[in-house]
């Protein structure tokens, strides 16, 4: 039975500066994560320039994922998120990420473009997890809403480059430069204006055993299991939904639409997740994290099964379904991070978040590449069907988490078995 009660009383957050800091971090995440999909946003131009096939286009996103996995793995191994002050880690990583992103505009072939994308991903490992930890220092009772707002902001930031598709013939260099400038501004915002909150996590000296401490926590393993199910679906959807919409527009008999419409819709189906994250945070603080993520994954998994039925049909059917999926596919994301902050010792929170995200993004390097394989064999109508497996497995993990107490036992007083 899932515990639907919130994890903290609603009157423990008092510092009047908390909302200002949340707005600051949300703005920094929105700007800082804009470089993530800059390669995907100009993929059609790069594909034409270098004669890329579908799998190679997918690697423009997968390379960022691989770099992010490498960066988060190194960060977790060396405890960077718990040893280095979050403000310094975020600012330096965002600055380096902005510089790495510029390499895409200078790339002379596909190989150098991939290296630039991977380097950008490595740097973003110091932007995403630290921002969640910084937010948690300001909120305890409303932590679900706060981290949901941060994940919502980064969702909109990642969607931003797709607006480039709504502007005909916008040069690759302009998209890359704009996103790099945004990320550099994010670094300045955090470096100049961020301060630790009243619930700051205690500093920790480097220890090789910290990763083992995290992995030993059964609640962390179950929360991460749910997160992996969520990630198996999320980035495949974000990466391929613009191509799915374009392919649907090219089906004979479908009413023609302009590239500007497709670009705006591609932005919208990802950016709407920003509202989904805030909604998810509000609901999770009221009914509990486990209940919220179960509902969100059930809806998003259903959308994965249903959207193929709308392929090549009316935009009045396809667009709303894609928007609903975009809302719920990310609505639960922040709550997995909140569950992690509540499942490990305070001195290990940064490493726990970093390790969780590293494993999740490692999985996406596989699932992103599965979609073009399905398309090649069965067509676009079946492209997303397999993604429904992720939410099913994620729900099973979270249902088990609902019966585990803080000390690793079960809710009914028994002893939890090791998974």
- Minimum mean pLDDT among 7-11, 241-245, 314-318: which range? 7-11
| Domain spans, the chain | 18-195+207-401
* pLDDT number for residue 414: 33
Tens digits of residue pLDDT in 127-155: 988 888 899 899 888 888 888 898 888 88
Where helices occur in 51-109 by DSSP H, the ranges are 54-77, 80-83, 86-106
pLDDT class of 384 with cuts at 50, 70, 90: very high
Neighbours of 75 (CB within 10 A): 28
Q: How confident is the model at residue 15 (pLDDT cuts 50, 70, 90)?
A: confident
Alpha carbon distance 72, 227 (integer Å): 16
Contacts of 230 (CB under 8 A, 6+ apart): 293, 297, 332, 333, 336, 360, 390, 391, 394
At 253-265, the pLDDT tens digits run 888 888 888 888 9
Residue 6 has pLDDT above 50, yes or no: no
Instruction: Return d(Cα 177, Cα 257) in angstroms, integer.
Output: 29
pLDDT over threshold 60, residue 383: yes
For the four alpha carbons of 99, 105, 107 and 112, in that order, the dihedral sign comes to: positive
CA–CA distance, 284 with 397 (Å, rounded to integer):
17
Q: What is the pLDDT of residue 190?
A: 96
What the block records as the tokens of 131 is 């921002």
Residue 231: per-residue pLDDT: 93
Superfamily of domain 18-195+207-401: MFS general substrate transporter like domains (1.20.1250.20)
Place 295 in a pLDDT band, splitting at 50, 70 and 90: very high
User: Which helix or strand (DSSP H or E) is residue 384 part of?
Assistant: none
Average pLDDT over the chain, rounded to whole? Answer: 85
The pLDDT tens digits of the residues spanning 386-415 come to 999 999 999 999 988 865 544 444 333 332
Largest CA distance in the chain: 64
| Each residue's pLDDT tens digit, 28-76 | 999 998 888 788 778 888 888 998 887 788 788 889 989 988 998 888 7
d(CA 59, CA 246): 19
Count Cβ neighbours within 10 Å for each residue of 371-394 and write b for 16 or more, e otherwise: bbebbeeeebbebbebbbebbebb
């Amino acid at each position: 039975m899932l515990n639907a009660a919130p994890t903290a009383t609603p009157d423990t957050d008092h510092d009047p500066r908390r909302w200002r800091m949340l707005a600051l971090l949300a703005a920094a995440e929105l700007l800082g994560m804009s470089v993530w999909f800059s390669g995907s946003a100009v993929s059609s131009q790069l594909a034409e320039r270098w004669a890329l096939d579908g799998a190679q286009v997918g690697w423009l996103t997968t390379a960022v994922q691989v770099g992010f996995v490498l960066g988060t793995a190194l960060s977790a191994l060396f405890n960077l998120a718990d040893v280095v002050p979050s403000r310094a880690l975020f600012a330096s990583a965002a600055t380096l990420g902005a510089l790495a992103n510029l390499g895409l505009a200078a790339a002379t072939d596909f190989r150098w473009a991939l290296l630039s994308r991977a380097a950008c991903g490595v740097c973003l490992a110091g932007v995403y997890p630290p921002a969640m930890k910084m937010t948690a220092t300001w909120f305890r009772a409303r932590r679900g809403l706060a981290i949901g707002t941060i994940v919502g902001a980064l969702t909109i930031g990642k969607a931003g480059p797709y607006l480039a598709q709504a502007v005909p013939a916008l040069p690759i260099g302009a998209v890359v430069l704009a996103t790099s400038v945004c990320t550099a501004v994010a670094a300045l915002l955090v470096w100049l204006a961020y301060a630790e909150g009243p619930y700051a996590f205690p500093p920790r000296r480097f220890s090789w055993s910290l990763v083992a401490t995290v992995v030993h926590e059964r609640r962390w393993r179950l929360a991460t299991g749910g997160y992996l199910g969520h990630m198996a679906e999320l980035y495949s959807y974000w990466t391929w939904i613009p191509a799915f919409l374009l392919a649907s527009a090219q089906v004979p008999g479908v009413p023609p639409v302009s590239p500007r419409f497709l670009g705006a819709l591609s932005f919208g189906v990802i950016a709407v997740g920003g509202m989904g994250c805030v909604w998810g945070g509000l609901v999770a603080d009221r009914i509990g994290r486990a209940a919220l993520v179960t509902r969100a994954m059930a809806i998003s998994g259903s959308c994965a099964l249903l959207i193929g039925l709308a392929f090549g049909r009316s935009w009045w059917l396809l667009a709303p379904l894609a928007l609903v999926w975009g809302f719920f596919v990310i609505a639960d994301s922040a709550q997995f991070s909140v569950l992690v902050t509540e499942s490990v010792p305070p001195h290990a929170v940064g490493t726990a978040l970093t390790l969780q995200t590293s494993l999740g993004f490692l999985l996406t390097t596989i699932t992103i590449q599965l979609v073009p394989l399905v398309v090649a064999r069965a067509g676009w109508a079946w492209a997303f069907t397999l993604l429904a497996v992720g939410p099913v497995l994620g729900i099973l993990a979270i249902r088990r988490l609902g019966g585990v107490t803080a000390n690793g036992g079960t809710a009914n007083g028994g002893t939890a078995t090791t998974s």
